[in-house]
Amino acid sequence: RTIHTDVANLRARGLNGVVNCQQQRVFADMSLPMYVYAATLLQPDRSFDEIVGGFFSEAFSPANGPRFRAFFEGLTAASEVMRLGGRGGPEGEGNGPEGDGSGPEGDGNGPEGDGGGAGGPGDGGDGAGRGGARRAEAYGALAKAMEGPVPEYECGDIGVAESVRLLRFSMAMYGHLARVAAARLAGDAGKAEGAAEAARAFAARSAAQFESAFDYNALVRHIDGMFVKKAKPS
């Protein structure tokens, strides 16, 4: 939604396009915001709901689109913790922007929900604290949500099957990241390391099967980066 608003207002500011830096092979969790990006650049007067409705209709078929959009909206709500900011220092107080902005939330041929890319879970620090404990609980709930089944759907063609395949992959990927963040925020170093190792193994297993949809090296760097403490800004 933020992308749509920003791009739709470019002309009012005397601009007729955008040049920005994009990571390659992130279709699994970035296709929806990039779809919104392109559609709004071409037709800035189209409404956000029309564009997003078209995305889900094309990705999951007109019959399945509405239920998958509703499903993504639920996952977007569950992942609010990823957009609240604050990496969470040793006391879990939150001292900087969260995550690395690598992508929104789960998705199946598109990042999760209609809110666009959200940024990764971040490292969460290594202490509980009151703020950290609340965010650890929120990340735990997010991990549970990512374990849930996808909506029932009619699979009429290979495009629908591929969209659902990417959705399941992205949910699993963000579930792993959320479990690492939850353990870090709870101050459980052993559990966090175990969750990170499971995430790395998942990435390795998925590398060949989903090589055109996500960047294995970038994901592993993100997992490793969740254990690197960053200095507070002076």
Answer yes or no: is pLDDT of 145 > 90. yes
Q: What is the dihedral of CA 224, 211, 78, 126, to 10 degrees?
A: 0
The conformational region for residue 124 under phi > 0 = left, psi -120 to 50 = alpha, else beta, is left
Residue of higher predicted confidence among 23 and 8: 8
Highest mean pLDDT range out of 105-119, 128-142, 173-187? 173-187
Which of 95, 87, 28 shows the shortest CA–CA distance to 226?
87
**Tokens 């709930």, residue located:** 141
- Of 170 and 129, which is predicted with more confidence? 170
Q: Can you name the residues that pair with 111 across neighbouring β-strands?
A: 107
Residue 43 has pLDDT above 80, yes or no: yes
Residue 68 to residue 72: CA distance in whole angstroms: 6
Instruction: Using CA atoms of 85, 201, 23, 53 in order, give the dihedral in degrees to the nearest 10.
Output: -70
Cα separation, 30 vs 211, in Å, equals: 14
Report the largest interatomic distance among the alpha carbons of the chain, rounded to a whole angstrom: 56
Q: Regarding predicted confidence, which is higher, 86 or 203?
A: 203
Q: Which of 167, 82, 58, 70 is nearest to 113 (CA)?
A: 70
- Region 9-33: mean pLDDT is 78
**Conformational region of residue 122, where left means phi above 0, alpha means psi within -120 to 50, and beta covers everything else:** left
